[in-house]
Amino acid sequence: MATATDTAPTRWTAQWKELYDEVIESGLCTGCAGCVIACPHDVIGYEHEEKHYKPFHLEEELGPENCIHGEKGCTSCTRACPRFRMWETQADEHLFGRIREPDEMWGVARQLLLCRASDEMIHDVGQDGGFVGAMLIWLLEHDYIDAALTSFLDGDPAAQESSWKARPGIARTRDEIIASAGSRYTYSANTLAMKQALDEGLDRLALVGMSCQSSVPPIMWARKVGKISKPFVFNIGLLCSKTFDDAIFAELFEAKYGLKRGEMVKMNIKGVFQIWMRDGSYHEVDLKECHAWTREGCVLCPDFAAEHADISTGGIGEDNDWTLCVVRTELGEEVMNRMVADGSVVARPAETDEKAMKLLRLLSVVSRRRWPKTADPAPAIGVPAPKKKKAAAPAP
């Protein structure tokens, strides 16, 4: 069996210059901010704002595309980047001791379950089954973690004002986990909350993040980035096809449909963009209309299923109120088994929901097809060619 290390370079020398050229300029950069938190010289900037969500170099000496510390041997940014070169195979090997088989479209998995929080309140505030919230609370209460890097809305997190501006933040308590529950479909680079967590002395952290972010800890461990990778002790992935730029609120939802962001109370994506308003009304926006606001960092992303998380979670399937859970690692399995055994969550085999299983495969294939041929081929291996459209019947 081929392994990533067969061809891995013996000495890692790649620095910001290579990252800029091969990931940022080539369009592979997702904006996950792994490089930002890994930089020991703090020379990588990041604007967590509309039309940005990309790293840039802060020092002027060698211009935006090169780094003086890199020239002197610093390689932390490329060691932390889950889109640099052989990221998929290196993270696979580190986590699972093997590379995914070509037909493992959603990555390596031990268990596939549909879960829901047993606590009705946690279930209600959750996006789907409230599983992520329930698991974070369980991890805190069972002393696995000190806090979670997760996402809040701008304003007072406890009040959950409807600004719909997603921000990375730290959930240290049950109340903060509840305040951060639910999904926002704009980007939140939750990794960015790491520095504040460390300043607060919190050094056993769960990371909650979309697929791109959940490959950050494993690639850091695989490439031995060092100290900054140690606080990640649990990795929760969110299945993800894309995020939208924040401009979608003003330029589409409000301009075309009169839906003001401050009045929105919940949103979801189930074939259409679903929006619930404070006045009790419910609206659907065709996803085709939303495509123009797809965030740049998502356009080439091949990972729908958060393939490098301990447990990946999503909301596909027959029922809206269950979370599909892909349990991948030994640690993920240990926590899942304990949560089921003590009744914190209710679980059933995901195979009981044919629709969920079909969608998991289909959406994983669709994302993998986006990966460009110019990059390392691994993420596209095994992906079936798109079916040819039938020619239109000749007019009678």
What does the binding site for ligand FAD look like in residue numbers (CB under 6 A)?
126-133, 150-151, 166, 180-186, 188, 190, 208-210, 238-241, 243, 269, 313-316, 323
Residue 210's alpha-carbon distances to 48, 183, 357, in angstroms, are 16, 11, 19
Whole-number minimum distance, CB 153 to ligand SF4, in Å?
17
| Nearest partner of 211 among 301, 293, 325, judged by Cα | 301
Please name the amino acid found at residue 352. Answer: T
Between 76 and 241, whose beta carbon lies closer to ligand FAD? 241
Of all residues in the shown chain, the one whose CB is closest to ligand FAD is 314
Residue 162's alpha-carbon distances to 156, 180, 276, in angstroms, are 10, 13, 12
Between 179 and 210, whose beta carbon lies closer to ligand SF4? 210
Binding at 301: pick from ligand FAD, ligand SF4, none (beta carbon under 5-8 Å per type): ligand SF4
Between 144 and 249, whose beta carbon lies closer to ligand SF4? 249
Binding residues for ligand SF4, rule: CB under 6 A, are: 19, 23-24, 29-35, 55, 80-81, 83, 210-212, 240-243, 297-298, 301, 303
Binding at 298: pick from ligand FAD, ligand SF4, none (beta carbon under 5-8 Å per type): ligand SF4
Radius of gyration from C-alpha coordinates of the chain? 21
| Nearest partner of 283 among 312, 261, 311, 306, judged by Cα | 261
Whole-number minimum distance, CB 250 to ligand FAD, in Å?
18
Binding at 131: pick from ligand FAD, ligand SF4, none (beta carbon under 5-8 Å per type): ligand FAD
Tokens of 275: 């929006």
Binding at 29: pick from ligand FAD, ligand SF4, none (beta carbon under 5-8 Å per type): ligand SF4
| Nearest partner of 78 among 29, 149, 45, judged by Cα | 29
The secondary structure of residue 192, as a DSSP letter, is: G
Between 25 and 161, whose beta carbon lies closer to ligand SF4? 25
Between 80 and 248, whose beta carbon lies closer to ligand SF4? 80
Binding at 35: pick from ligand SF4, ligand FAD, none (beta carbon under 5-8 Å per type): ligand SF4
Tokens of 357: 């299983």
Distance separating alpha carbons of residues 223 and 12, to the nearest angstrom: 9
Between 15 and 213, whose beta carbon lies closer to ligand FAD? 213
Q: What are phi and psi of 349, to 5 degrees?
A: -60, 135
Please name the amino acid found at residue 269. Answer: I
